[in-house]
């Protein structure tokens, strides 16, 4: 672990300075007030470091204090230590071996968002909403993201035993998962379902996803496609820029794709289509489920609001929060929600996130059915 001294606090103050410059005198006043409170926090940390009865890792105390602040916000605003952020970037690159799930720590519980296509967890039947509560007999409750990586990842071919709580199932579920190299392909299936209907399975919105979909569309049209099924089931999102570019292919120019609304001027935006639509008349069905979130909901919401596609499946996840990433000099990072996004008709699809059921797909459907 790195030593705190004044480095991490200085990083926070740098963020406050940037915020004040960007958002004006009101934020500058707030930044001054926060600065004085942070000085007290720094004094407390130094007193603990010098006088507490046992040796302590002050850096770890600071990380925990930061996470404590974020607990009062939303589930998607998170602080990552330098080690956790580096591991997160490794996951995005896809060059690691693991059990093949995307997850989120919610109220200290490792909750599965999706079992990745073709991965070992999907093969064994893990599903969105499963809570991994033990790994190799050790409680996983309260783990940091870094601790999850330390215990769950390992060389390809090795095994790890996990205990799972599944919503609606009384008994604990036991799985022995053989780790494998995890690679998240943006597109897993491109096929003709019959002589006229093309099918594209899109797993994530990563770099160049829109270009890859365009190539797939052209290939399918050469093979006679006249109608398209776009499968976004289990697609937990990704880069908003790619979601915008993909939606742009199917809508005429000048149409709103999504609006973001926040507390500051820079958080209020309206993204519109260009005149570069390449498939504006192609009849479409979009498949969604509980695992379709964020960027997937931007695409399906825009196509639905403009009566451009028929949306078929289950109630989607309901994530309409926009995060900005703030990097600090010590390698740590803050992912902070700065806005909510709205569909072209003005719908806010974000669900309430109070209570443990937020990441439980079964409970999600129950709540939506009562609205």
Reported for 84-89, long-range contacts at CB under 8 A and 24+ positions apart, including other chains, are: 84/144, 84/145, 84/146, 84/149, 84/332, 85/331, 85/332, 85/333, 86/331, 87/145, 87/146, 87/149, 88/145
CA distance 36 to 19: 16
Q: Is 305 a catalytic residue?
A: yes
Pairing of strands 138-139, 159-165: unpaired
Catalytic site includes residue 294 = yes
Query: Which residue in the block uniquely carries the two structure tokens 């996951």?
Result: 91
325 close to 18: Cβ distance less than 8 angstroms: no
**Candidates 294, 296, 300, 332; catalytic one:** 294
Query: For residue 264, what is the DSSP state?
Result: S
Q: H-helix or E-strand containing 16?
A: helix 7-23
The continuous run of DSSP H or E covering 17 comes out as helix 7-23
**In whole angstroms, how far apart are CA 118 and each of 101, 151, 162?**
11, 22, 19
Structure tokens given for 335: 């992912």
Q: Determine which one of 63, 74, 231, 305 is catalytic.
A: 305
Catalytic residue among 59, 180, 300, 319: 319
CB 257 within 8 A of CB 282: no
234 neighbors 114 (Cβ within 8 angstroms) = yes
* 201, 187 Cβ separation under 8 angstroms: yes
Residue 319 is a catalytic residue: yes
Length of the chain measured in residues: 371
Give the torsion sign (CA, 297, 344, 187, 333).
Answer: negative
Half-sphere exposure in the Cβ direction for 201 (13 Å, CA): 13
- The three-state secondary structure class of 89 is helix
Residues annotated as catalytic (active site), given as ranges: 294, 305, 319
């Amino acid at each position: 672990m790195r030593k705190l001294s004044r480095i991490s606090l200085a990083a926070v103050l740098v963020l406050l300075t940037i915020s004040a410059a960007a958002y004006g005198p009101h934020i500058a006043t707030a930044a001054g007030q926060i600065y004085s409170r942070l000085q007290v926090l720094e004094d407390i940390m130094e007193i603990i470091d010098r006088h507490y009865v046992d040796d302590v890792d002050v850096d770890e105390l600071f990380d925990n204090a930061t996470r404590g602040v974020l607990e009062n916000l939303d589930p998607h605003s998170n602080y990552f230590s330098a080690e956790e952020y580096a591991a997160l970037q490794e996951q995005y690159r896809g060059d690691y071996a693991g059990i093949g799930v995307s997850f989120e720590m919610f109220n200290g519980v490792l909750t599965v968002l999706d079992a990745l296509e073709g991965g070992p967890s999907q093969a064994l039947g893990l599903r969105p909403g499963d809570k991994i509560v033990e790994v190799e007999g050790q409680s996983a409750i309260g783990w940091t993201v870094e601790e999850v990586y330390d215990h769950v990842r390992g060389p390809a071919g090795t095994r790890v035993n996990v205990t799972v709580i599944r919503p609606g199932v009384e008994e604990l579920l036991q799985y022995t998962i053989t780790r494998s190299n995890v690679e998240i392909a943006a597109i897993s299936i491109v096929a003709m379902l019959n002589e006229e209907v093309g099918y594209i399975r899109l797993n994530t919105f990563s770099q160049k996803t829109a270009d890859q979909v365009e190539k797939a569309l052209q290939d399918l049209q050469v093979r006679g496609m006249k109608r398209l099924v776009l499968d976004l089931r289990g697609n937990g999102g990704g880069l908003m820029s790619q979601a915008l570019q993909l939606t742009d292919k199917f809508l005429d120019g000048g149409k709103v794709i999504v609006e973001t609304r926040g507390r500051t001027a820079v958080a209020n935006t309206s993204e519109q289509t260009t005149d570069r639509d390449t498939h504006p008349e192609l009849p479409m069905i979009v498949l969604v489920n509980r695992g379709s979130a964020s960027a997937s909901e931007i695409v399906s919401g825009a196509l639905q609001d403009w009566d451009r596609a028929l949306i078929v499946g289950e109630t989607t996840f309901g994530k309409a929060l926009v995060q900005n990433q703030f990097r600090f000099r010590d390698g740590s990072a803050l992912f902070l929600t700065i806005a909510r996004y709205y569909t072209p008709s003005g719908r806010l699809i974000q669900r309430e996130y109070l209570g443990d059921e937020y990441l439980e797909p079964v409970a999600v459907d129950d709540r939506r059915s009562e609205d």
